[in-house]
Amino acid sequence: MQKGGVIMDVTTAEQAKIAEKSGAVAVMALERVPADIRAHGGVARMADPTIIKEILNTVSIPVMAKARIGHFVEAQALEALGVDMIDESEVLTPADPFYHIDKRAFTIPFVCGCRNLGEATRRIWEGAAMIRTKGEAGTGNIIEAVRHQRMVTRMITTLQTMPTAKIQKVAEEYCQSYVTSFKTLTNQNVDEKTVVFGSSTYSILKKELYEILKEIKKIQRLPVVNFAAGGIATPADAALMMQLGNDGVFVGSGIFKSKNPEKRAKAIVEAVAHFDNPETIANVSKNLGDAMLGIEISTIPKEQLLQERGW
Amino acid sequence: MNRVFQEGKKKGQAVLVRQPRDIDTCDALIIPGGESTTISRILVNSGMYEVIRERMSHNDIALMGTCAGCVLLAKELTDSKADVRLLEAIDMQVERNAFGRQKESFEQSLQIKGFTTPYHAVFIRAPGITKTWGRSEILATAGKKIVMARQNNYLALSFHPELTDDLRIHRFFLEML
């Protein structure tokens, strides 16, 4: 779904129209783009359904919307509204300190963020149909997205030469966040028959995470599409992520926080379609006007890093 | 498609086409699913649109459009086509998202003209063919909507044949060449 394309954050129907006209393969309907969420502070929640409905009625491309991590009722509401995909997103304030949404309980597909293969594997097991890097949203700084993509691909490469027993060990490690949640909640230890997530027992979890890792080893990539997100501000940023192996990109604040959104949006679409053609990248990068100013990651207090949300 | 070539009945190779010059070596193009507005924009901006239209005018290229590709092969759309430039290959009118949004996506067995057994088709935010005329031929319907049509060496289907292991549609297209 949406492979090779650009998904753009929009906050109004007019922006959605611009995104569609510029060649976006989908839009993410939001109340505020991440840069504004960062500046605004407070608790960030699902967008007002009025805005989402308006955007749904304006464009023919798919419309996505964000729900808070673990907030399955926001997800149910978004599904009822008829959005095409839900982003269980760390850009919003998490709602559950223990569990992400059990995405298997929905018919609507989900996209989730990850920083490494462990997070990606857990989200896929929980039912995510699409994965994206977390990056650091709202910064216009690509470094965290690159970090996360490299973490994922490095681990996939490592799996290639890993013996079965070692992969089973990795699967067990990847189970630990569920085990910790259970222990914190109940003060009890987990055994094979303990139900750790949804209706799945620990033994099923372990077995199925292993199955996913085996599949990843076999196909040498994630079994779902893997987009880049969090900090993409220029056509070259977008093409960089594509060359690092992403299947497409999300651009949040990067477009509508720049001087000339329409021109930049079109340029990023071109850059993603022709990511391995340096001439095109050079061409579309000309005269775009100012990109968003951006933030150096080390100036952000650790507790304000969005990527730390989720596990 | 490469799996069909491996069967050895026809010689050939499927390649990725992203620029006008990639088309020169091809006898046929598959326009896949995606978003019709996005694909149309890329076709026009890259110059591929003109190259395909030129080859079409000499009856020198076969086309298969699936899902969004089906939209692009149409002569007309039910909604405003300002944001999509159609290839106008088949005498048909297409409605985008005709079966509803993502959560209304579905799978269904189809009776396809010329196929001896039903074909299991996957529809995702699929378009529907609302009417056909002229020299176009209806090959399959789902409910009241037409989902597969053909004209000359152009083939349109509103579902995703690449998502199932059934290669009959790909074979059918190759035999059209």
Q: Tell me the pairing of strands A225-228 and B28-31.
A: unpaired
DSSP helix/strand/coil, A124: helix
Contact A59, A17 (CB under 8 A): yes
DSSP lists the bridge partners of residue A114 as A133
How does pLDDT run across A133-146, given as a tens digit for each residue?
999 999 999 999 99
Question: Hey, which residues does A227 pair with through a beta bridge?
Answer: A132, A248
Q: What's the pLDDT tens digit per position in A40-74?
A: 888 999 999 999 999 999 998 999 999 999 999 99
Please tell me the predicted confidence (pLDDT) of residue A39.
Answer: 87
pLDDT exceeds cutoff 90 at A1:
no
CATH class of this structure's domain B2-175: alpha beta
Measure B80 CA to nearest chain A CA, in Å. Answer: 11
Mean predicted lDDT score pLDDT of chain A: 95
CA of A115 to nearest chain B CA: how many angstroms apart?
27
Predicted TM-score (pTM) of the model is 0.89
Query: In angstroms, rounded to a whole number, what is the distance separating the alpha carbons of residues B46 and B18?
Result: 8
Query: Predicted confidence band at A5 (pLDDT cuts at 50, 70, 90)?
Result: very high
Per-residue pLDDT at B82 = 66
Distances (CA, A) of B153 to A22, A275, B56, B63, B136: 31, 32, 10, 7, 11
How far is residue A121's CA from residue A126's CA, in Å, rounded to a whole number? 9
Distance, CA of B66 to chain centre: 4
3-state secondary structure of B81: coil
Q: Would the pLDDT of A303 be above 90? A: no
The one-digit pLDDT tens for each residue of chain B (177 residues) are: 999 999 888 899 999 998 999 999 999 999 999 899 999 999 998 999 999 999 999 999 999 999 999 999 999 999 876 689 999 999 999 999 999 998 899 999 999 999 999 999 999 999 999 999 999 999 999 999 999 999 999 999 999 999 999 999 999 999 998
pLDDT at B105: 92
Q: Residue A14: is its pLDDT beyond 80? A: yes
List, in order, residues 6 or more apart from A65 with CB less than 8 Å away: A28, A29, A30, A46, A47, A52, A78, A81, A83, A86, A87
Chain-centroid distance of CA A200 in Å reads: 24
Q: Do A3 and B35 touch (CB under 8 A)?
A: no
For residue A147, pLDDT beyond 60: yes
Q: Which of A237, A244, A248, A227 is nearest to A288 (CA)?
A: A237
> Does B96 sit within 8 Å of A1, measured CB to CB?
no
Please report, for residues A38, B106, B108, B159, the alpha-carbon distance to residue B122 in angstroms, rounded to integers and kept in the order given: 41, 6, 7, 6
CA atoms within 13 A on the CB side of B151: 17
Dihedral (CA of A21, A24, A29, A31) sign: negative
For B38, the closest chain A residue by CA position comes to A23
**DSSP 3-state of A194:** coil
* Chain A partners within 8 Å of B125 (Cβ): 62, 84
Paired sense of beta strands B128-132 and A130-133, if any: unpaired
Of B38, B96, B101, the CB nearest to A23: B38
DSSP string for B137-174: EEEEEETTEEEEEEETTEEEESS-GGGSS--HHHHHHH
Residues A154-167 have a mean pLDDT of 96
State yes or no: pLDDT of A78 exceeds 60.
yes
Task: For A167-195, write each residue's pLDDT tens digit.
Answer: 999 999 999 999 999 999 999 999 999 99
Distance from CA of B114 to the nearest CA of A (A): 30
Contact A269 B101 (CB under 8 A): no
**In the structure encoding, which two tokens stand for residue B47, read together?**
């110059």
State the catalytic residues of B.
67, 160, 162
CB within 8 Å: A273 and B37: no
| Bridge partners (DSSP) listed for residue A110 | A86
> How far is Cα A259 from Cα A201, in angstroms, rounded to an integer?
52
Enumerate residues 6+ apart whose C-beta is below 8 A from A52.
A29, A63, A65, A78, A81, A83
d(CA B122, CA B42): 25
What is the ipTM for the molecules in this complex?
Answer: 0.77
Which pLDDT score, from 0 to 100, does residue A40 have?
A: 86
Domain locations in chain B?
Answer: 2-175
What Cα–Cα distance (Å) separates residue A186 from each residue in A174, A180, A190, A196, B126?
20, 10, 10, 11, 47
Q: Least CA distance to B100: which residue of chain A?
A: A82
d(CA B38, CA B94): 17
- Between CA A51 and CA A119 the distance in angstroms is 31
Residues of chain A with pLDDT > 70, as a percent, come to 100
Per-residue confidence (pLDDT) for residue A290, from 0 to 100: 85
CB-CB contact of A263 with A168 (8 Å) = no
